[in-house]
Structure 1
Amino acid sequence: MQQLAFPRYEFRFKNTKNKPGVFDVVRKKFVVLTPEEWVRQHCVRYLNEALHYPLSLINVEKQLEVSGLKKRYDVVVFTPEGKIRILVECKAPSVAITQETFDQIARYNLSLQADLLMVTNGLAHYYCQLDYEHGRYNFLAELPPYA
């Protein structure tokens, strides 16, 4: 898989039925290694190892309902109180980050109400802090570490 704009991490790999797999430390199982999954796994490791968010507060690929439609978010980081701190949207490295990507995460966030958003294709990362009081978001240079 290609090198991404994240620190280098050690991953466990396994082939199952001629499909490459990578061990997901959150789901505690091997998952099919697609380009988007490669980005997702780097993102999880970055949140945990670089920013020190506990694995127990990180959730991966869960279903949510948006305007009556079933969707899946990529990564969510909770606060210890159960509020959503960070919502992450991951794309494959070959997928450009566009306004459509931001619209997608904004739609998901209507029901989730995260404090922070991260959009990444593994090569470019964008971080936003939500300002619900004024109905806008502010771009950040980086995500804050776990406090």
Structure 2
Amino acid sequence: MKLNLPPFDHKLQKREGKIYILDIIRKKYVLLFPEEWVRQHFIHFLLNEDYPKSLIQIEKGHQYNTLKRRTDLVAYSRNGKPFLLVECKAPHIKMNDAVLKQTMAYNQSYNAPFACVTNGVDHIFLSYNTTTKNYDRINQLPVFAKAL
């Protein structure tokens, strides 16, 4: 499936009949699933938008209520605070309320001012409104230079 993200020069390996893709953040080859294809495209999209590679963390563990979860991607500000939480879905997953609620719930552990959920085709960018304590949809990726 064609994604709504810029192409990048990806490196693939085949081992024991399975395809792996190089994750430049984790510096290793990871098993290529549809969600991973989206995540790798989104990582390169962030890098093209001047998000520093050293401030991006992949599959960070966190606790939500009593459950242990992993967040797909967190971009941190230069002062080390979460700036953008990204939840990646496979391209065939519809962007619906359940997906949005999951992303917002995961962000309770991080308190990032911005969140995004993407299936590689559709991207929903959110900004946390501290006055209303709700998320507002925004039209584009937050500019990293504004991350203080």
- The TM-score bracket by the shorter chain reads over 0.9
**TM-score, L = length of structure 1:** 0.95
Instruction: Show structure 2 runs of 5+ residues with no match.
Output: none
**TM-score, L = length of structure 2:** 0.95
> What SS does structure 2 have at the residue aligned with 1:62?
strand
Tell me the matched-pair count. Answer: 145
Please list, as runs of the form range in 1=range in 2, the aligned pairs for 1:1-147 lying within 5 A after superposition: 2-49=1-48, 51-147=49-145
Q: Give 1:27 deviation, angstroms.
A: 0.2
Instruction: Show structure 1 runs of 5+ residues with no match.
Output: none
Write out per-residue CA displacement over residues 8-47 of structure 1, whole angstroms, 9 at most, x where no aligned residue. Answer: 1110000122110000010000000100000000011101
Which aligned segments of 4 or more residues in structure 1 are displaced greater than 2 angstroms?
none
Kept in 1: contact 2:116–2:126 (CA 8 A):
yes
Q: Which amino acid aligns with 1:24?
A: D
Alignment RMSD (CA, Å): 0.9
Provide the rounded CA distance (Å) in 2 between the counterparts of 1:80 and 1:89: 21
> What SS does structure 1 have at the residue aligned with 2:109?
helix
Q: Give 1:145 deviation, angstroms.
A: 2.4
Kept in 1: contact 2:47–2:53 (CA 8 A):
yes
Q: Percent identity?
A: 37
> What SS does structure 2 have at the residue aligned with 1:127?
strand
> What SS does structure 2 have at the residue aligned with 1:41?
helix
